[in-house]
Chains A and B, each alone.
Chain A
Amino acid sequence: MPELLPLYGKTLAELQDIVSQEGLPPYAAMQLADWLYKKNVESIEAMTNISKSAREQLVGRYYVGLSKPEGVSASADGTKKYLFRSGNGKFVEAAYIPETGRATLCVSSQAGCKMGCLFCMTGRQGFQGNLSSGEIINQLRSIPEFKNVTNIVYMGMGEPFDNLENVLRSTEVLTSEWGMGWSPKRITVSSIGIIPAMNTFLSRSSCHLAISLHSPFDEERRMLMPIQNVYPIADVVEEIRKANIAGQRRVSFEYIMFDGLNDSPRHVREISRLLHNLRCRVNLIRFHPIPESSLRSASDETIIKFRDALTSKGIFTTIRASRGLDIQAACGLLSTKGLLKNKD
């Protein structure tokens, strides 16, 4: 019997290809999209306005392709971390973060990651594969809080721009009228700044962009993020300037604050020079220590001073609230454990 293919995560154009290959009427593609992304069915049999014979035909080749999380840990503050298994025993995490008036879901785009950032647990896993568009959106669709989620951030495991096509497919499904109908303003894709893919993203999507900055200085950023050797942050910023981002689209720079490393007035000056006159914001993040690393988070006092110093230079700066400290420590920990368990 041929292997069944998942429908979930397919764009309208891909669904149109499927219905045409199956010899079904063209409007069946829209019906499929409606059942998958608006009516949220879990089986092809439940798509009752598609003829019985067409459904039987589809069932022979396709399935919806949702998969439930295999594990969850819940924090006292309401944050939940879900562990999903996709093909080949890969594990990925999604974090559900409820706040007053909103709930954010942080999704993964790859199992593991190729980028090897010094401060990251996912980076230590190496790369186990790209997630399909369906596997990305499944992280939203298959959690019990699905209906409560108001914002999605692609800040979980993996580098979204190293899996650009699947990430763009997933944002297309999320934001299209025929899909889930989300506003792109509720979706942020976060990257370390792979320039060609970033430029494609900026031209093909209207979702927000977040760039991991972490240091404005070459040598320091290179130590933290080897990608600096290929795409220096100054070039990334230059490309964002050229893209002339206007309207409601937002560009932010993520800045993990490490004690004694990137938290000095010298850093404030260099960041303000780097981002001078760019319409953007900086988001300061406390570092959650990872095993066998000497990196430590800057103190709350230092972070507040840093925010105030950047603000006084005219850069809109926020401090990200720490959530789920008791369950996660760092993105990648849960899945690393899952991976190890799987290897045993």
Chain B
Amino acid sequence: MKAWKEGDYRLQQVISNTRLAPGAFLLKFRKQFDFSAGQIVALGVSTDIEPRFYSIASSEEDELISVLYTEKPDGKLTPMLSMLNPGNPILVSKPFGAFTSFKSEPVFVAAGTGVAPFISALLSNKVRGATLIHGAPYPEYFYFSDYLSEKLGRNYIQCCSRCMPGSHYVGRVTSYLLQWDELDPNRNYYLCGSTEMVVETRSLLISRGVPPDRINAEIYF
């Protein structure tokens, strides 16, 4: 679907590839080009496999670029990414993409690794007054939760679909949004995750009175 083109990518070295939770990793390599929070890079381990896209999860100011990824056991690239060690080569494109203009007091809605662009925007101090609603199956998949709790306080909402009732809201982001009494149709909503999550969340927001032009989505297709 997406072929590598000579000149579109650089060969880089992995700085670290840390397992954050079962099947979930944070991969770091040196930043070669400036980027805007919300942008993506294409990654690969060889030009024989089509590149895959990953949202940048680090601050614009960092010297390293981080990406969050989950391993798909029957996927082509991620099982190989998960084997990478520091010093191993990796193909990295220039940053690109336009999911970058976050208006003030945004509501970020993410599922899984879809939280990455929002982490980048927060770390880069690109937004004020943000609320983040993050969905994950188990507590360990709430990446950067210490930082996010400290930065956003009660405006950081974890929706844990398979947790026991307790410290998290138990359920998916869509069920949370359905009953969220602070939902304000005048705020701007930014969605990031799988097609299913984005399409469902967008329909739900529209049904709760949010105009479509206040919804912007990045789909991990």
Contact = CB atoms under 8 A, between A and B. Distances in A.
Nearest to B199: A116
Interface stretch (A33-41, A43-51, A227-235, A302-310): A227-235
Contacts of B196: 126
B213 interface: yes
A170 B199 CA distance: 30
B199 A196 contact: no
A164 B221 contact: no
A229 B99 contact: yes
B53 A124 contact: no
Given A114-B221, A196-B2, A127 B216 contact: no
Interface residues on B, range: 20 to 34
Contacts, number: 74
A229 B3 contact: no
Interface in A124-170: 124, 126-127, 161-164
B215 interface: yes
A116 B216 contact: no
Contact of B213 (A116, A127, A223, A229): A223
A9 interface: no
B40 interface: yes
B198 A223 contact: no
Given A196-B1, A197-B2, A230-B40, A126 B98 contact: no
Given A196-B3, A197-B2, A226 B213 contact: no
Summarize B's interface: helix, strand, loop or mixed: mixed
Interface string A49-83: 00000000000000000000000000000000000
Nearest to B8: A196
Contact of A114 (B5, B96, B219): B219
B202 interface: yes
A21 B209 CA distance: 60
A123 B221 CA distance: 12
Given A124-B199, A127-B195, A229-B218, A161 B53 contact: no
Contacts of A114: 195, 219, 221
Contacts of B207: 292
Contacts of A226: 198, 216-219
A267 interface: no
Interface in B85-112: 96-99
B3 A115 contact: no
B95 to A, nearest CB: 12
B40 A292 contact: no
B159 to A, nearest CB: 19
B218 A194 contact: no
Interface stretch (A98-106, A214-222, A244-252, A270-278): A214-222
Contacts of B212: 118, 223, 294
Given A116-B195, A116-B202, A230-B218, 12 more contacts: A116-B199, A116-B217, A116-B219, A123-B199, A162-B221, A197-B1, A197-B2, A200-B3, A222-B98, A223-B215, A226-B198, A226-B218
20 contacts: A113-B195, A116-B198, A116-B217, A123-B195, A126-B199, A161-B1, A163-B1, A164-B1, A194-B2, A196-B1, A196-B2, A200-B3, A218-B98, A223-B215, A226-B219, A229-B97, A229-B216, A230-B53, A230-B218, A292-B203
